[in-house]
Amino acid sequence: MPVDVATAALDRLLELTVVLGRDMSGHLAGQGLTESRAHLLFVLHGTGPTTQRALADALDVTPRTVTGLVDGLEASGHITREPHPTDRRATLVTPTPAGAAAARALAEGRVELARALFADWRPDDVERLTAGLDAVLSRVQTLVEESS
């Protein structure tokens, strides 16, 4: 495998991470959200009321960081803190109606983006691309695990 062919592919991937990130940020700003807070809200939307501890695990982040993110989302009206019914140490985080609406809008935005990106493609080609990305993905994951 020629090195320049491989590096060309990696370069495109790295550039895509930048450009996609920029596009995402635009959508998030419209909902009054940052990337990290949107991530938390999205996880929450998928699971229902969740303790901060569980969120820390899900986001792969320390409990202290979750405190900050939840503080921000509470102040912006996207979520509420409620006492855990049986464990008085724990807090349950729940989306407000506005928070749930924002999460739905984000999910919808992702579908829109996918539609816009691949509108002109043949389904076969998209599936081939997905398969290729899957292969790269599992390889990277293996490499990360090996090196840690």
Partner DNA sequence: TATTGTTATACTCTATAACTATA
Partner DNA sequence: TATAGTTATAGAGTATAACAATA
Between 10 and 101, name the residue whose CB sits nearer to its own copies. Answer: 10
SS3 83: strand
Q: Does 58 bind DNA (CB under 7 A)?
A: no
Between 71 and 127, name the residue whose CB sits nearer to its own copies. Answer: 127
The residues that bridge with 52 in the sheet, in sequence order, are none
Residue at 63: amino acid letter: P
Residue at 10: amino acid letter: L
Compose the 77-116 pattern: x for residues touching DNA by CB under 7 A, - for all others.
----x--x-xxxxxx-------------------------
Q: Does 31 bind DNA (CB under 7 A)?
A: no
Q: Does 43 bind DNA (CB under 7 A)?
A: no
User: Cα 35–37–38 angle (5° rounding)?
Assistant: 65
Instruction: Find the binder of DNA among 46, 63, 77, 132 (CB under 7 A).
Output: 63
Among its own copies, DNA, none, partner that 72 touches (CB below 5 to 8 angstroms by kind): DNA
Output phi, psi for 89, to 5 deg.
Answer: -80, -30
Between 19 and 75, name the residue whose CB sits nearer to its own copies. Answer: 19
CB atoms within 10 A of CB 68: 13
SS3 101: helix
